Homo-oligomer: A and B are copies of this chain.
Amino acid sequence: MANLAFLGLGIMGYPMARNLRQAGHDVAVWSNTAAKAQKLASEFGAVACGTPAQAAANAEAIFLCVGDSAMSEEVLTGKNGVVETAKPGAVVADASTVSPEMSRRVGRALAEKGVHFLDAPCTGSKPGAEGGTLTFMIGGDQKVYEKVKPFLEIMGKQFYYCGGPGMGLHAKLSQNLILANMLQAFNEGMVLCTKAGVDPAQMIEILNNSAAKSGFITFKAPYILNRDFSTNFSTKWMHKDVTLAIDSAEALNIPLPVTSITQQMFRAAIAKGFGEEDLCATIKVMEDWSGIEVKKSTT
């Protein structure tokens, strides 16, 4: 059994770390919220550590899943960060969705200590993390990837090796960019037909039986019809991902006109107070402008 580390024990990270531990590996864990590490230690036998550096000290593979680029950089290369203790030859795989530019910078800093680095963002949300059925998109050296693949296979089911450093992130951000636009397209189409007089539930049935069908909308639509905006993936986090995609596009000199307007509509949703709600709450901005609600008919 291997010595592993897992840093960041949020909605995603906690079950991912637990799955590694339950597969029999020794897992040193650290979280911003110490109680989470303690819980994982007391209930599943992980080793709770006080800093990322402590958790990383003996690990052959170090995984992390944190909220944004600044946290990832801090955990890996900041004070008491992984870079201070990680062994030469160890592999760090970052499952966070962060800036590809930042990720490459961190990778170079770790490389100076002989530590390998992969970007390995994932999709699948909470259920995927809990069930070990995540999809990973990986960037970095392919041989390094092969070394940690057995561990990733405990946490996920589908794997795409996308190329050199940052390529996993670029794939992930492009996917989320498409999802965000898809949702705003749905929002605009639904307020239009609903205000015109089409029953929104029927419109969704039509979409679900058409070329416009998409897994994302098929999943989200019933929540909207039922006015259930409890958070699965928040407006705020999708806004963050779209902003990362646009920042990457800026670095690559690519204008993204439709995506930039989708970003502003997500920002409007945040401004109107829906940032912590599920991203399908973005439809409320369109509804406010239209004077109707997209909901199940009560008749």
- Which residues does A use to contact B, with CB under 8 Å? 100, 123, 135, 137, 158, 160, 162-164, 166-167, 170-171, 173-175, 177-179, 181-182, 184-186, 188-193, 195-199, 202-203, 205-207, 209-216, 219, 243, 245, 248-250, 252-265, 267-268, 270-272, 286, 289-291
Contact partner, A215, options B205, B210, B268, Cβ 8 Å = B210
**Nearest-Cβ distance from residue A267 to partner chain B, whole angstroms:** 4
Q: Would you list the 4 A-B pairs with minimal beta carbon distance, nearest first?
A: A181-B185, A214-B214, A174-B193, A170-B196
Q: Which residues of B contact A137 (CB under 8 A)?
A: 206
Contact partners of A262 in chain B: CB under 8 A: 185, 258
- Copies of this chain held together in the complex: 4
A198 touches B249 (CB 8 A): no
| Cross-chain contact B212 with A258 (CB below 8 angstroms) | no
Complex Cα distance, B53 from A64, in Å, reads 39
Contact with A175, one of B189, B191, B195 (Cβ below 8 angstroms): B189
CB distance from A83 to the nearest CB of B (A): 19
Taking A193-B170, A215-B210 as contacts, is the C-beta distance between A259 and B198 under 8 angstroms? Answer: no
Contact pick for A254, options B158, B250, B271, CB 8 Å: B271
Q: In the bound complex, do residue A188 and residue B289 qualify as a contact, i.e. CB atoms below 8 Å apart?
A: no
In the complex with contacts A174-B198, A192-B252, A270-B253, A181-B100 CB distance below 8 A: no
If A197-B163, A209-B135, A271-B290 touch, whether A259 touches B188 (CB-CB below 8 Å) is: yes
A196 and B211 contacting across the interface, CB-CB below 8 Å = no
In the complex, the chain B residue whose C-beta lies closest to that of A178 is B189
Contact in complex: A182, B179 (CB < 8 Å):
no
Q: Which of B175, B177, B207, B256 is the one whose CB lies under 8 Å from A206? A: B175
Chain B neighbourhood of A164, CB < 8 A: 197
Contacts of A213 in B (CB 8 A): 214-215
Point out the residues of chain B lying under 8 angstroms from A271, CB to CB: 253-255, 289-291
Are B258 and A198 in touch, CB under 8 angstroms?
no
